[in-house]
Structure 1
Amino acid sequence: MLPGALPAALHAELVAFRRDLHMHPELGNQEFRTTAAIKARLEKAGLTPRVLEGGTGLVCDIGDTGDRADGPILALRADIDALPIPDTKTDCAYRSTVPDRAHACGHDVHTTVVLGTALVLAGLHREGRLPRGVRMIFQPAEEVLPGGASDVIASGALDGVGRIIAVHCDPKVDAGRIGLRYGAITSACDRVEIALDGPGGHTARPHQTTDLVTAAARVALDVPALVRNRVDARSGLSVTWGRIESGHAPNVIPQHAELSGTVRCLDLDAWRIAPDVVHAAVDEIANMYRAKSEINYIRGVPPVVNDPVVAELLRDAMTARRGADSVEDTPQSLGGEDFSWYLEHVPGAMARLGVRRPGDRTVRDLHQGDFDADEHAITVGVEMFTAAALLHPDH
């Protein structure tokens, strides 16, 4: 039987730690209190975490890493930031104390799981039972496009890393289980902002000017269809608008209009050409209506594409702890996740960590103000990660 089970006393401590984070959520690149709390607990365990240059987020090695490592090491990543939405839970002693801030995506759980794993592995290392070094990455600003992962990578956090793993809470999967998928498990997500301009005029004479509201409406309606038809339909490339704004008076054709929305894609190759496809579609419609267009295409994140070998490591780790039936297939999500940037450098995999209370069939989702997690998931995540660290090959 693998060592590294989570003691009951440590589980209780981790639950309290998670609830403290839940009560004090911090937005991306503002996670100073969160960083300090993680750092203090790691140092109490005799570890030497390194706070990242911006003052939020940290990296901590356990065991032999760097020049002392016997081959590439395994990295575990947690995101630590919260969302700018109110916590709407009632009758909850640990609901957010910060107005319009909430851990509604489970990052407090992710952080606690990786922290707990660090504490268990540190104990195994002291006992001489950790065969290879492991790196813990506590990443800031996952919710901020293009995500904080790029800064973490630039800091050298992947130096010497051969594989990287992570979890993401899933309120559609029961606590005690994980969802796993080989290949793409999330989608690409970019942002697009479009400005249309014309000379303006009287609504009685649209033929003498640029009918800018109609042009904006046609961009909103026709660009998504054009984009879909110019790539393989299986790529799932889509444009969805979240804002359209133009004009101030019913009898005045405006001089300026703005649209903004998101571009999502299931396929990595289609995501790479998406900016060119969107630019061409917008220009085509704008030119048809004699509107000048300016496009600000903001790269977000590519899909998280799970490496089959690393995904199998997670499956083996979960099976070793809770049996083969504790792993279920999970569909590809249309959400974006900046864990994908790490996978541009090293192979890795992300699992869906079940946080739904068994027997609860209420339909719940992430990014909702009433989000919460069955805290048994903390033990499940820690024990899966410790098993992965022990099973990780030395090549």
Structure 2
Amino acid sequence: MRGPSAAYSARRAPAQRTLAGVSPSVSDVPEAELIAFRRDLHMHPELGREEFRTTRVIAERLRAAGLAPRPLPAGTGLLCDIVPVLPEQAARPFLALRADIDALPVPDAKDVPYRSRNEGRAHACGHDVHTTAVLGAGLVLQKLNAEGRLPRPVRLVFQPSEERLPGGALDVIDAGGLDGVSRILAVHCDPRVEVGRIGWRIGPITSACDRVVVKLDGPGGHTARPHLTTDLIGAAAGLAVALPAALRARVDPRSGLSLVWGRIESGQACNAIPQHAEIEGTVRCLEPEAWHDAPELIHELVEQVAAVHGAKWELEYHRGVPPVSNEATSAMLLREAMTREFGADTVEDTPQSLGGEDFSWYLEKVPGAMVRLGVRPAGTASAPDIHTGAFDVDERAIAVAVRLFTAAALSPA
């Protein structure tokens, strides 16, 4: 755990520090205000499609800046347009900046003043940072627009439910969130990348991700007489071990197909063989062809393993998201914006990961790109990973992301 220490104090921005003075393209939005906003979100994390408070505080801040956010039909998430005052600029297509606003069902294990107040909930993936960065960029761009300096319309997308497959991006698309949009950009926190830097890549940067549930049933019975019933615990354990191994033997390893279990449940007593068992996990894949074939192959393998144990079975295969594949022009737009703001040495190549991201659904419709935002404190060799209760960020990353988004929006491209 990381407590309020010298390292914590070093991450706190001075109250008088603003984003102005470090970049001629950025107006004076106080960095301390954005950090305070992020910490408020961090203290009040909400799960997918439950982000009512989060949506409300984002909307209140946007309205205070003179903007007119509009909520999505389900009541969580919102869109907000910033349209140039000059007609010739207002006629251009929208550049969209996307943030995801939901949290994870993970207990917050940090000892910090902004620790989650919602039991069993935490912004363990950095969505509070993504949200604050897009909000901050919107506030900057609104000020520049008032000065006649916004070259194109910009749409702020605050998306719900990224963590729940197939993702809230589909809600945004269904609500017309991409209407009039020619390009969409995003960042994702990465504790492997040092603060002040981004990781970029043209082409696939994440993998496909699906959800698998295997349900097993049998008559149940006494553990003293397992030969008279079906050992569902053994069947579930056999599937948990055999299925990933069988997949590795049947699929080209270069496809990156991976099945990892996250939940196994069965039984209530040590001397009673249960009547029902479930195992649940995720299938991740780097290559589209192997992803396409995965449901049929897993069905075949579940049938074979379950037959060995004599268990009745049911497979639920839930398609999740395709890989995020960065379009070249969009990726270059972010790279060049980062280079202009911070220098060429602040951009590093990043590998394709097995993580899933519903940002991919937007890229099925319009060009776009996502880069990895460095959040690891400077001078440290490692930091707690995302999706863990100990995850935290160097908050200087917020200003970096605001400047990155702002520079991209002001680009003539």
Which TM-score applies when normalising by structure 1?
0.90
Q: Structure 1's 243 and 46: CA in aligned 2 closer, same or farther, altered over 3 A? A: closer
Q: Aligned equivalents of 1:303 and 1:120: distance in 2?
A: 31
Find the aligned partners of 2:223 and 2:395 in 1 and give their Cα distance: 60
Q: Which residue of 1 aligns with 2:100?
A: 79
CA contact (8 A) 1:4 1:121 kept: no
1:377 offset after TM fit, Å?
1.0
Q: Distance in 2 between matches of 1:248 and 1:376?
A: 49
Task: Provide the aligned C-alpha RMSD in A.
Answer: 2.6
1:136 is paired with a residue whose SS is strand
Is 2:149 aligned against 1:93?
Answer: no
Structure 2 counterparts to residues 120-131 of structure 1, below 5 A = 120-131=140-151
- Please name the residue that 2:82 is paired with: 62
8 Å CA contact 1:355–1:375 kept in 2: the answer is yes
Aligned with residue 270 of structure 1, among 290, 293, 312: 290
**Where in structure 2 are the equivalents of 1:227-306 lying within 5 Å?**
227-247=247-267, 254-306=274-326
C-alpha deviation, 1:358, in angstroms: 0.8
In 2, are the aligned partners of 1:5 and 1:383 still within 8 Å (CA)? yes
Matched, 1:346 2:366: yes
Instruction: Call closer, same or farther: CA 1:120–1:228 in 2, change over 3 Å.
Output: same
Which stretch of the first structure deviates more once superposed, 145-154 or 60-69? 60-69
Q: CA deviation at 1:213?
A: 4.3
Q: Which residue of 2 aligns with 1:45?
A: 65
What is the aligned partner in structure 1 of residue 344 from structure 2? Answer: 324
Helix, strand or coil: the match of 1:349?
strand
Q: 1:30 aligns with which of 50, 54, 66?
A: 50
**Corresponding residue of 1:382:** 402
Match of 1:105 in 2: 125
Asked whether the 8 Å contact 1:4–1:387 carries over to 2, the reply is yes
1:373 corresponds, among 388, 393, 396, to: 393
Residue aligned with 2:49, SS: coil
Q: For 1:97, what is the secondary structure of its paired residue?
A: coil
How far residue 46 of structure 1 moved from its aligned partner, in angstroms, is 1.4
Q: How do 1:148-297 residues align onto structure 2 when only pairs under 5 Å count?
A: 148-199=168-219, 210=230, 212-247=232-267, 254-297=274-317
Structure 1: gaps of 5 or more residues:
none
Tell me the SS of whatever aligns to 2:307: helix
What are the Cα deviations for residues 205-234 of structure 1, in whole angstroms up to 9, with x where unaligned?
767765544433332222212323333321
Q: How many Å separate the matches in 2 of 1:49 and 1:375?
A: 26
- Counterpart Cα distance in 2 of 1:266 and 1:104: 24
Measured against aligned partners, the alpha-carbon deviations of 1:272-298 in whole angstroms (never above 9, x if no partner) come to 332222112112222344432211112
CA distance in 2, matches of 1:383, 1:43: 22
Deviation at 1:2, TM superposition (A): 7.9
Corresponding position of 1:14? 34
Secondary structure at 2:79's aligned position in 1? strand
- Determine the C-alpha separation between the residues in 1 that align with 2:269 and 2:128: 47
CA pair 220-368 structure 1, distance change in 2 beyond 3 A? closer
TM-score of the two chains, using structure 2 as the length reference: 0.87
| Percent identity of equivalent pairs | 64
Q: For 1:144 and 1:214, locate their aligned partners in 2 and report how far apart those are by CA, in whole Å.
A: 30
String of CA shifts for 1:317-375, please: whole Å, max 9, x gaps.
10111111010111222222111121121121111111122112243211222322222
Where 2:25 maps in the other structure, the secondary structure is coil
SS in 1 for 2:30: helix
Q: Secondary structure at the match of 1:74?
A: strand
Q: Distance in 1 between matches of 2:237 and 2:395?
A: 47
Contact residue 307 and residue 348 of structure 1 kept, 8 A: yes
Change (3 A) 1:318 1:213: same
Residue 145 (structure 1) aligned to one of 165, 171, 178: 165
Give how far 1:67 is off.
Answer: 12
Specify the SS of the correspondent of 1:262: strand
| Secondary structure at the counterpart of residue 369 of structure 1 | coil
Structure 1 contact 306–349 (Cα < 8 Å) conserved = yes
**Other structure's SS at 1:101 match:** coil
